[in-house]
Amino acid sequence: MKIRANLHREFRIGSIDPRLYSAFLEHMGRAIYSGIYEPGHSQADEHGFRRDVLELVRDLKIPAVRYPGGNFVSAYDWQDGIGPKDARPVRLDLAWRSKESNQVGINEFAIWAEKAGIDMMLAINLGTRGLQEAREFVEYVNHPGGTAWSDLRRSHGVEEPYNVRMWCLGNEMDGPWQTGQKPASEYGRLANQAAKAVKGMDKTLETIVCGSSNDQMPTYPEWERQVLEECYENVDFISLHKYFGNSSRDTLNYFGKIEETGRYIQAIGGVIDYVKAKKRAKNDVHICFDEWNVWYHIREKDMENVRKWDWPEAPALLEEDYNFEDALFVAGLINEFIRRSDRVKIACIAQLVNVIAPIRAERGGPAWRQTIYYPYQFASLYGRGEALRVAVDGPTYDCRVADDVSFMDIAATHDSAAGTVSLFILNRHLTDTADIDMTLTGFAGARLIDHRVMQGHDLRAVNGPDRPDAVSPQPGSGLGVEDGALKGKLAPLSYHLVRLD
Ligand code: AHR
């Protein structure tokens, strides 16, 4: 398969907000308990956080983490998680039919986030609680002192405020499964009031309103229009969520879901523009894709378990084993976020540890990287700076979810400060090697400084505690810069990180 492509230094999409590579941690399953926090584990630090997990997290250079939910947040009382640990109540978590011990709350999580070098993005409960919570929680977290809530925080040993910038106004409020689900206009009104309360504390704080739970919801995209019409001027972001799978074992259709996601982003971009025009508003609202990942391998079984079980504490839940095919899919999906980074400023892989996660950790045992860890890591480490448009000319295919899908999926970023270009290249063809010739316009003298590749694995191959590196990147070969162009061969079903300076 012949691929001609053109990368042009001046064809800029926009600057990439580093928060495009954020993550999500929810109080559910073993994400928190025995995921990041396991006192008594041989790797536990003085606060009970697992050092082995922290190291894998730090290597991802994650800018921000959304916390504490998810569906969990819609019936959560953050005050249950503050003060002396032995006085904290055990509660029923309605979302996952589990018990919540509250041994980790906002102050413990803040310690973990600081150790991990990650900013917190906090979600407010707009399911069972509301405006009052928004006001009190922000005051506890962000106010320096001299008020009831800020002094309560100081009495808990936290002298300095956390200065959290990003506030999510509830979670998936359109979903029938959500505690406190609301119709769009009612939610939009509440979100508007909560956003005003947050910004009333500090007008530079950023608020994120809930969009649809996914693009298949019956109320999508009307939900977004109605919600934004209620709150446009007081929000900075609208959230998108989407989970993916390949239950039909149709790899090309699976990869076509990357294009489908592009349509989703484009549609919401259109709704944002429509509401902005209708309101004659000056401010911009961007997209916060704050839940995305592959979730299908054991989804049905898990949901059956949740329905049957008797309120366990930190049960194994959504512990998907990701295979090589999922890694290729995730690579392409992140490419789409880079290509859409003029609209999408924040995106959170959902989730980070154990629960639909790039990192797995056994209770009392080892931690390891799943296959999807690597494309996420490559993008986070090297996909910074400006996104550049790449024109690709080559064969395409049609599938159930999209037509005219290019077999060659490329995203490019230019870090002018570092003087480097990163190319993230996915050959989605099942059988054909790609013979690529990519002109590098405006990058005279470019040299290849790094080439790593994931290829040659069985699509179903996974990593595990006994084979932690089975599917992992290797040094690449067969590509070079010649006459101002990147040329060479890319194996079928392969993903490449290529860096130039
Ligand atoms: O990430 C798992 C769940 O998926 C979240 O709790 C919810 O927001 C979404 O439906």
Pairwise CA distance, residues 419 & 307, whole Å: 54
Compute the distance between CA of residue 381 and CA of residue 376 in angstroms, rounded to an integer.
9
> Does 349 share its domain with 408?
no
Last residue of a domain, one of 349, 382, 415: 382
Residues 23 and 146 in one domain: yes
Does 452 lie in the same domain as 326?
no
Q: 302 and 317 in one domain?
A: yes
Best mutation site among 171, 302, 319, 348 for ligand 1, i.e. most ligand atoms within 8 A of its Cβ?
171
297 with 425, same domain?
Answer: no
Please report how the helices 324-339 and 251-279 are oriented relative to each other, as an axis angle in degrees rounded to 10: 30
Q: Are residues 356 and 458 in the same domain?
A: no
Atom of ligand 1 nearest to the CA of 26: 6
Return the residue whose CA atom lies nearest to atom 6 of ligand 1.
Answer: 70
- The rounded Å distance from CA 24 to ligand 1 centre is 10
Per the confidence metrics, is the pTM higher than 0.95?
yes
Which DSSP state fits 471? S
What does the chain come to in residues? 501
ipTM over 0.85: yes
d(CA 69, CA 198): 18
Q: Is 229 a catalytic residue?
A: no
Cα distance between residue 221 and residue 242, in whole Å: 14
| Pairing mode, strands 286-294 and 344-350 | parallel
Active site residue 291: yes
Question: Residue 335: phi, psi to the nearest 5?
Answer: -55, -40
> Domain end: 339, 355, 382, which one?
382
Dihedral sign of CA atoms 81, 85, 88, 94 in order: positive
The Cα–Cα gap between 315 and 317 comes to 6
Out of 38, 139, 259, 291, the active site residue is 291
**306 alpha carbon – ligand 1 mean position (Å):** 14
d(C-alpha 195, C-alpha 206), whole Å: 9
| Ligand 1 atom 8: residue of nearest CA | 70
Residues 288 and 211 in one domain: yes
pLDDT at position 47: 98
Give backbone dihedrals phi and psi of 419, rounded to 5 degrees, phi first.
Answer: 70, 30
Strand residues in 152-284 grouped as ranges (E): 166-169, 206-210, 237-244
CA of 70 to the centre of ligand 1 (A): 5
Domain match, 467 and 356 both: no
Dump pLDDT digits (tens) for 285-334: 999 999 999 999 999 999 999 999 999 999 999 999 999 999 999 999 99
- End position of a domain, from candidates 382, 414, 446: 382
* Residue type, position 16, single letter: I
Total Cβ atoms within 10 A of residue 474 = 11
Q: Could you tell me if 338 and 401 lie in one domain? A: no
| Ligand 1 in reach of 26 Cβ (< 6 A) | yes
Among 65, 239, 291, say which to mutate for ligand 1: greatest number of ligand atoms within 8 Å of CB: 291
3-state secondary structure of 150: helix
Identify the CATH number of the domain in which residue 278 sits.
3.20.20.80
- At 369 the pLDDT is 98
Per residue in 110-137, pLDDT tens?
999 999 999 999 999 999 999 998 999 9
Q: What is the pLDDT of residue 387?
A: 98
| Ligand 1 pocket test target in 27, 32, 65, 71 with most atoms within 8 Å of CB | 71
Give me ligand 1 centre to Cα 172, in Å: 8
Tell me the three state secondary structure of residue 5. strand
Instruction: Say if residue 272 is in the same domain as residue 296.
Output: yes
Answer yes or no: is the C-beta of 291 below 6 A from any ligand 1 atom: yes
In 84-182, DSSP assigns E strands to 91-93, 98-100, 119-124, 166-169
User: Does one domain contain both 50 and 164?
Assistant: yes
Helix axes 324-339, 373-382, angle to 10 degrees: 30
For residue 424, the domain's CATH number is 2.60.40.1180
Same domain, 123 and 219: yes
Residue of 38, 100, 133, 172 marked catalytic: 172
- Please give the backbone phi and psi of residue 292, each rounded to the nearest 5 degrees, phi first: -150, 140
Ordered mean pLDDT values, 10 residues apiece, the chain (501 residues): 97 97 98 98 98 98 98 98 98 96 98 98 96 94 98 98 98 98 98 97 97 98 98 98 98 98 98 98 98 97 95 98 98 98 98 98 98 98 98 98 98 96 98 98 96 98 97 97 97 98 96
CA distance 274 to 283: 13
* Domain interval for residue 117: 17-382
What is the three-class DSSP state of 192? helix
Compute CA 96 distance to the chain's CA centroid, rounded to the nearest angstrom: 21
What's the total number of domains in the chain? 2
pLDDT of residue 282: 97
Instruction: Report the alpha-carbon angle 24-30-33, nearest 5.
Output: 95
Q: Are strands 2-15 and 434-441 parallel, antiparallel or unpaired?
A: parallel
The rounded Å distance from CA 96 to ligand 1 centre is: 10
d(CA 376, CA 322): 13
